[in-house]
Amino acid sequence: MHFPILRGSTALASLLVSIAFAGAADIETLKPGAKAPDFDLPGVDGKNHTLADYADADILAILFTCNHCPSAQGAESRVKKLVADFADESFQLVAISPNDPESIRLNELGYSVYGDTLEDMKKHAKEFGFTFPYLYDGETQEVSKAYGVTATPHIFIFDKKRMLRYVGRVDDSRYGDESTIKSHDARNAIEALLAGKEPPVARTRAHGCSTKWAGKADAVSQYNAEFEKKEVTVETIDTAALKRLRANDTDKLRLINLWATWCGPCVAEMPDLVAIGRQFETRGFDLVTISLDDAAASEKVHTMLKRFHAALPKLTEASVKEEGRTTNNYHWAGDPDALAEIIDPEWPGALPHTLLVAPGGEVIYRHNGEIDADELRRKIVEHLGRFYVPE
């Protein structure tokens, strides 16, 4: 079975680049020679930062980036390297997230552990070792509009007088692998300016994910409303079907959750599981829930799943149909020990119990008890990858 969108997809990368340009039609990007617009923005360090805070630096780079975009995440190692390599020079880099978190669909977060809220930015910066200020402009986006940010990443490099001398891409690669870089555009501009020379190129096209302007929040609301209309189904499952699910003879990463309606932690974690199922639908991923309630509780199981709206996301629905199945919610009313021998002999018996099963059936993560949603997303992203890779 072939899932239609896989990690490292050049087609998907090209689509996101085209979307970035299309969405920026009414935004005018600063041109070389323009003055740096002022800002006063909160950072992940709990402080507000202004343009004047960096007046001592001869060269100031303002990088618009974000947590969720695979192109932005792919550039992070190069950005940290720029900061390290010019640490002894009069150079400062400041990163700003331009995105409105309410204007991002869940399935746009398929490459990331975190979303684009300020609280998520704090987690992301800490986890991935940011060595530079990281500021949030998602509330008003006034700074991002003033600079004319079309995509993440998008870098603006200013001289001592805060005149724009280079604007565009960090480099010419959208991948995380530095060996794919052919043109180190931002680095070349910084080196030239520090040497008192003109940058070899003053302007390039930014490539990456489109800036998520607040106007897209209505589209996100519509996306959520359409999902809420989807039917929630549940079926009883037999031993043979259970074995097929566990074998995972697909190219999808499969999350299997054992739960029951009477289990408090099961009920508490279900909203996170449903959100995770939606988040990674574009990556070849599905969430399978298996209730261990008594046979007489089938209607109660269905009712509970409907309350959490554990429906199949669109792409997951397509992949489930390709497998010859019609749902990802199941009810096992048989012997729990028999289920354990099939699903996970290491299961101690307490609920909830969660497995992350790679294609071919290897268990790459198991957890007994209520999940930590960030930890689970981290395991998923570790397997799927958080940026594009060449095909």
Q: What is the pLDDT, as a whole number, of residue 215?
A: 87
pLDDT 10s digits, 346-359: 999 999 999 999 99
Among 10-14, 88-92, 343-347, whose mean pLDDT is lowest?
10-14
Does the pLDDT value for residue 98 go beyond 70? yes
Task: Name the pLDDT band for 21 (thresholds 50, 70, 90).
Answer: very low
Q: What is the pLDDT, as a whole number, of residue 326?
A: 97
Among 7-16, 93-102, 291-300, whose mean pLDDT is lowest?
7-16
3-state secondary structure the chain: CCCCCCCCCHHHHHHHHHHHHHCCCCCCCCCCCCECCCCEEEECCCCEEEHHHHCCCCEEEEEECCCCCHHHHHHHHHHHHHHHHCCCCCEEEEEEECCCHHHCCHHHHCCCCCCCCHHHHHHHHHHCCCCCCEEECCCCCHHHHHHCCCEECEEEEECCCCEEEEEECCCCCCECCHHHCCCCHHHHHHHHHHCCCCCCCCECCCCCEECCCHHHHHHHHHHHHHHHCCCCCCEECCHHHHHHHHHCCCCCEEEEEEECCCCHHHHHHHHHHHHHHHHCHHHCEEEEEEECCCHHHHHHHHHHHHHCCCCCCHHHHHHHHHCCCCCCEEECCCCHHHHHHHHCCCCCCCCCEEEEECCCCCEEEEEECCCCHHHHHHHHHHHHCCCECCC
Share of the chain above pLDDT 90, in %: 92
* Cis amide bond preceding 153, omega within 30: yes
Q: Per-residue pLDDT averaged across 259-274, rounded?
A: 98
Does the pLDDT value for residue 384 go beyond 60? yes
The residue extents of the domains of the chain are 10-215, 230-384
Q: How far is CA 180 from CA 67, 74, 78, 183, 208, in A?
A: 22, 11, 12, 9, 16
Q: What is the pLDDT, as a whole number, of residue 14?
A: 40
Check residues 15 and 309 and name the one with the higher pLDDT: 309
Q: What is the pLDDT, as a whole number, of residue 18?
A: 38
pLDDT 10s digits, 273-324: 999 999 999 999 999 999 999 999 999 999 999 999 999 999 999 999 999 9
Q: Per-residue pLDDT averaged across 97-113, rounded?
A: 97
Q: Per-residue pLDDT averaged across 145-165, rounded?
A: 98
The CATH topology of domain 230-384 is Glutaredoxin (3.40.30)
Task: Name the pLDDT band for 3 (thresholds 50, 70, 90).
Answer: very low
Task: Name the pLDDT band for 162 (thresholds 50, 70, 90).
Answer: very high
Cα 52 versus chain centre, distance: 32
pLDDT 10s digits, 213-238: 998 889 999 999 999 999 999 999 99
Check residues 260 and 22 and name the one with the higher pLDDT: 260
Does the pLDDT value for residue 9 go beyond 90? no
10-215 against 230-384: fold identical: yes
Q: What is the pLDDT, as a whole number, of residue 27?
A: 84
Read off the amino acid at residue 74: G
Does the pLDDT value for residue 136 go beyond 80? yes
Mean of all residue pLDDT scores within the chain:
93
Does the pLDDT value for residue 13 go beyond 80? no
Does the pLDDT value for residue 169 go beyond 50? yes
Does the pLDDT value for residue 258 go beyond 60? yes
Q: What is the pLDDT, as a whole number, of residue 20?
A: 40
Does the pLDDT value for residue 5 go beyond 80? no
Q: Per-residue pLDDT averaged across 194-211, rounded?
A: 96
Q: Per-residue pLDDT averaged across 30-48, rounded?
A: 98
pTM confidence score: 0.91
Share of the chain above pLDDT 70, in %: 94
The CATH class for the domain spanning 10-215 reads alpha beta
